[in-house]
Amino acid sequence: MALDRKDIEALAAHLESAELEARDVTKITDDYPQMDWADAYDIQDEIRRRKEARGHKTVGLKAGLTSFAKMKQMGVDVPCFGFVSDYMARPDGGEIQTSELIHPKVEAEICIVTKAPLRGPGCHVGAVMAAIDFVLPAVEIIDSRYRDFKFDLKSVIADNTSASRFVIGGRSRRVEELDLRTLGVVLEKNGQIMAMAAGAAVLGHPAAAVAMMANHLGARGQEIPAGTFIMTGGVTEAIAVQAGDSVNVRFQDLGSVSMKFV
């Protein structure tokens, strides 16, 4: 740990205020180049503590930068992990207020809900498959608090991996009914196809993102509890949206998820 508790708390307040006021900031490693990985996750944990202290429930976990398309788009080569809160959820087919956001982008994500706890180290795809209760599709709206979406991995981890809004839709399926690797995803904006991919784009298998998350949490003495909603990360690159845009994502066997940006 390179930062002291006072710096961690100040940086959490700084990044969370930027989120809540829809205001961009420069990446925090510019001012704190000595910051390490533990500091980055400690800042994120402090943001989570602040939200929970104000009565917001943490309703899911997310993996980010798990697809090769996303890693390439953002210029990083390691996944990251964050959380989503109750107030970030929006209904399928609903409206997303762009005035509350800085520079939103949409991502198509294969999600799971667990029926058993997962704890690393040593968690693997098989253990994750055994712990999946059901699979469901979602769109994540990311909104980095960093100017022009320019960041490094430590800065984005501290910023709760750009978490902003999410929409769960479509229909859920039992994992035995699906092949998570070949599951196709087509992302449309204003009726035009913007990106497409299959589940294998996420680390070769979306369950690998969950295993990696369990191993990451295990190293910090935490586990993924039963009943956890987990977003495994965007399968394609993220697509920028603005007021007036309609987004519809079709997931093979899981239905579609849509929203309008106003």
Contact residues toward ligand OOG (CB under 6 A) are 62, 64-66, 70, 74, 107, 140, 142, 144, 156, 161-162, 233-234, 238
* Distance of closest approach, residue 5 Cβ to ligand OOG, in angstroms: 26
Residue from 7, 202, 234, 241 touching Mg ion (CB under 5 A): that is 234
* Distance of closest approach, residue 64 Cβ to ligand OOG, in angstroms: 3
Which residues, 6 or more positions from 186, have their beta carbon under 8 angstroms from its beta carbon?
193, 195, 196, 249, 250
Phi-psi region of 107 (alpha: psi -120 to 50; beta: other; left: phi over 0): beta
156 binds, among ligand OOG, Mg ion, none (CB under 5 to 8 A by kind): ligand OOG
Segment contacting Mg ion by CB under 5 A, of 95-103, 114-122, 135-143, 174-182:
135-143
* Distance of closest approach, residue 166 Cβ to Mg ion, in angstroms: 8
The reply to whether 7 sits near Mg ion by the rule CB under 5 A is no
Four-point Cα dihedral 178, 182, 183, 187, nearest 10: 180
Name the residue nearer to ligand OOG (CB basis): 114 or 162: 162
The reply to whether 237 sits near Mg ion by the rule CB under 5 A is no
Q: Which residue is nearest to ligand OOG (CB)?
A: 64
The reply to whether 82 sits near Mg ion by the rule CB under 5 A is no
The reply to whether 39 sits near Mg ion by the rule CB under 5 A is no
* Distance of closest approach, residue 101 Cβ to ligand OOG, in angstroms: 13
Hey, what are 25's tokens? 């900031």
What does residue 33 show for φ and ψ, rounded to 5 degrees? Answer: -65, -20
Residue from 42, 107, 143, 159 touching Mg ion (CB under 5 A): that is 107
85 binds, among ligand OOG, Mg ion, none (CB under 5 to 8 A by kind): none
The reply to whether 140 sits near Mg ion by the rule CB under 5 A is yes
Nearest one of 120, 136, 95, 124 to 205, comparing CA atoms: 124
Nearest one of 23, 157, 141 to 79, comparing CA atoms: 157
Phi-psi region of 148 (alpha: psi -120 to 50; beta: other; left: phi over 0): left
Nearest one of 116, 138, 115, 119 to 206, comparing CA atoms: 138
Pairing of strands 192-198, 184-189: antiparallel
* Distance of closest approach, residue 66 Cβ to Mg ion, in angstroms: 8
CB 230 within 8 Å of CB 63: yes
CB 108 within 8 Å of CB 237: no
Segment contacting Mg ion by CB under 5 A, of 36-44, 57-65, 117-125, 200-208:
57-65
Element (H, E) at 123: none
208 binds, among Mg ion, ligand OOG, none (CB under 5 to 8 A by kind): none
CB 50 within 8 Å of CB 125: no
Residues of the shown chain interacting with Mg ion in the complex, contacts defined by CB under 5 A: 64, 107, 140, 234
